Structure 1
Amino acid sequence: MSALIPRPAMEIAPGAVHVPGWLGLDQQRELVAACRAWATGPVPIRHTALPRGGVMSVRTVCIGWHWRPYRYTRTADDVNGRRVAAFPDWMVRLGRRAVLRAYGDEAAAAAYTPDTALINFYDGRARLGMHQDKDEKSSDPVVSLSIGDTCVFRVGNTETRTKPYTDIELASGDLFVFGGPSRYVYHGVPKVHEGSADPATGLRTGRLNITMRVTGLQGRYTE
């Protein structure tokens, strides 16, 4: 019975807010279906190549703008040269609702206009090292949505990849927003609890993480 009681939002650090269970099952299933469609192309999901020759263990597909380390482009020149799928207007509205829920600031929510999303798929072996999201020219918040397997999410500080940091669990349906003083915190995923997903979400195994961002680049590309 306690699982049916909404858990309160928690500010992990100034501007970094965790909202457990924000997405209902219907919303999660809709997002899973959308992500499956985006994963097939026009630029398919892939393991991103890193500048020093390695590859990321998570698989990524992008919409709105194509991300590769340190830059955004309209076309995926490192994959197949095609233009990525458009960023849909309904995702803009979802991002605004997320910012409003996290911060309770109607003006900030109304002004929030994400134009890209990185969609990462984690299997049980995938990890994401500590990093900052700083390839954007805008300092607007990052909105992160989790679906599927629960993960350990490590929230650090803005100066170093090492301690101090806080580990929390992000479960299916959870919202995490980081902006303001925490916009450039180091963060990562050191562990995924394989097999913890609820098949009712439409994802029987693995974890989807959708991060909406404002690139600050010229020219919106929506549908």
Structure 2
Amino acid sequence: MTGRFITLEGGEGVGKSTQSRALAAALRARGIDLIETREPGGSEGAEAIRKLLLEGDGDRWSARAEALLFAAARADHIEKTIRPAIEAGAWVICDRFIDSSVAYQGGAGGLGVDMIRALHDLGSGGYLPDRTLLLALPSGEAASRAAVRDRCGADRIGGRDEAYHARVAETFERLAGESDRFRRVDAQGTPQAVTDRLLAALADLLP
């Protein structure tokens, strides 16, 4: 079987983590061997960096420092987890990848798309997914879902203000319009309905 690398992207509250698990279960039911992973994280080194990135005060790191830490975590993640799985013929389902860095540090953080992509080229050779599934919700619904999720405390990036997250969403929409790698998926409705839409967006890749 040919290995495939699939990423789920989107702003806060759109259901990426829930749908990553549901999509993985649906693909396994079809006989596909896969691993589930996430960013930041997914390898021993990247998980150590994840704590640095997501814990502490909101101004703990500048946008540049964040971008460098994400790039370092991603390089280790690809080398230790993603590439070996793909080369072994497995699928990889990843909750966030380079497009999140472009949207958060590049778009919302003001560093620009080119700088983030240059860091990705340096750290990871520009490695990209076979398909990126962008989960999309109206901003009000996404904010409501994120508020429910974060009642026990948001991480330092998720807890930023509405204007920051609006810039994140705008950047994701722009990215989706610029690349054939993306499929924009409506995240409204029941979880099963959303999972069905994700599967439909992968139909051309399924064995």
Using the size of structure 1 for normalisation, the TM-score is 0.26
Q: Of Structure 1 and Structure 2, which has the larger fraction of its residues in strand? A: 1
Q: Which has the higher contact order (CA 8 A, sep 6+)?
A: 2
Q: Of Structure 1 and Structure 2, which has the larger fraction of its residues in helix? A: 2
Using the size of structure 2 for normalisation, the TM-score is 0.28
